[in-house]
Amino acid sequence: MRVAVFSTRQYDRVHLDRANAQAGHALIYFEHHLDAATSQLAGGFEAVSAFVNDRLDAAVLRQLAEGGTRLVALRCAGFNQVDLAVAAELGVRVVRVPAYSPYAVAEHTIALILALNRHIPRAAARVRDGNFALDGLVGFDLYGKTAGVVGTGTIGTVVVRLLHGFGCRVLACDPFPSAAATALGATYTSIETLLAESDIVTLHCPLTPDTHHLMNDDAFRLLRKGAMLINTSRGGLIDTRAAIKVLKSGHLGTLGIDVYEEEAALFFEDLSGTVIQDYVFTRLLTFPNVLVTAHQAFLTTEALDAIAETTLASVSAFAAGEPLVNEVRL
């Protein structure tokens, strides 16, 4: 099957080509995001593969359907970028990769916690500059601290295990508590209690209309003073302007994010030679207690292999008229 594969970088191609040696599809790679400006490129492709910051809104889906697309294969777990109602109306089926490596994202979450707590970026920059002073680099033991995990699905459960391994008291909240997370040491509580009692809060729930700006002014008021907030899920979970207010006041101790609500205009691109116009984002970067990575939590060899294999298996199943086990529906 001919597949138009959008938002592909060199590292995606390596893993997709490897998986495709078995699957045998015709993969045509586009570096561009899929959006209203680029959707015409997919004309004549029965299958389109897209990534996190591609925009599959009503207009794009209609354009794809008119061009003959019948399958959208997301190379990610989240599907908030797709208008599923319109896809269903057009008969365009949507598949995703529900779990590729929860370890990749969970381990990056811990990397952000440790790097922020122990000031690793500042320390490494100082040492390179011949400055071996330790002032300003004091951290805290994770052992004995309270960590709150918001959302204990595939990734959140691995985070619970890792935090428990450090000797943290782990609180969790999720509308569907998991026996696995409880067995790994989490104690379920309300979001209010979790925010009030946690030294570290880490977000692992999906972005939905209900969770949009979950961390807003009200939530930040409930958050324990000086707490660390980590987000490796979706940028829209945090009201960035509200976060900036509490960073300025000192109420929010540290912030580590791998995702940003307006990241589509920035992330996955080399903008090092340009002036970044996003004032909120650039303000965020001025804080010494904020650490930002550009949506790389998934970026491990194991995860990229699993993403490629699952995506191409879905395309093969679609081509063969077999059931789509990873289909997303409303």
Catalytic residues: 234, 263, 295
> Which residue's CB is nearer to ligand NAD, number 146 or number 157?
157
232 sits near ligand NAD (criterion: CB under 6 A): yes
Nearer to ligand NAD, 1 or 297 (CB): 297
**Residues 179-208 close enough to bind ligand NAD by CB under 6 A:** 204-207
The verdict on 6 binding ligand NAD (CB under 6 A) reads no
Of residues 80-119, those binding ligand NAD (CB under 6 A): 99, 105
Residue 130 amino acid letter: G
What is the rounded CA–CA span in Å between residue 93 and residue 47? 10
Find the binding residues for ligand NAD in span 47-86 (CB under 6 A). Answer: 77-78
CA distance 37 to 60: 9
Which one of 173, 229, 238, 243 is in contact with ligand NAD (CB under 6 A)? 173
Nearer to ligand NAD, 45 or 258 (CB): 258
Q: 69 or 314, CB closer to ligand NAD?
A: 314
Q: How far apart are CA 219 and CA 227, in angstroms?
A: 12
Give the nearer residue to ligand NAD in terms of CB position, either 16 or 201: 201
* 93 closest CA partner among 70, 117, 118: 70
Q: Which is nearer to ligand NAD, 158 or 246 (CB)?
A: 158
Q: What's the closest the beta carbon of residue 1 comes to ligand NAD, in angstroms?
A: 26
Site track for ligand NAD across 131-170, x = CB under 6 A: -------------------xxxxxxx--------------
Candidates 75, 113, 234, 315; binder of ligand NAD (CB under 6 A) is 234
Nearest-approach distance from CB 127 to ligand NAD, in angstroms: 29
CB of 164 to ligand NAD, least distance (A): 17
For the window 249-278, what string marks contact with ligand NAD as x by the rule CB under 6 A? ---------xx-------------------
Site string for ligand NAD, 204-223 (x = CB under 6 A): xxxx--xx------------
* 233 counts as binding ligand NAD under rule CB under 6 A: yes
| Range 144-179 burial, b when 16+ CB lie within 10 A, else e | ebbbbbbbbbbbbbbbbbbbbebebbbbbbbeeebe
Choose one: 117-125, 126-134, 172-180, 306-314; the region binding ligand NAD (CB under 6 A).
172-180
Position of minimal CB gap to ligand NAD: 153
Give Cβ neighbours of residue 210 (< 8 Å, ≥ 6 apart). Answer: none
Question: Among 133, 181, 129, which Cα is nearest to 155's?
Answer: 181
Instruction: Closer to ligand NAD by CB, 20 or 109: give it.
Output: 109
Binding site for ligand NAD (CB under 6 A): 77-78, 99, 105, 150-156, 173-176, 204-207, 210-211, 232-234, 258-259, 295, 297-298
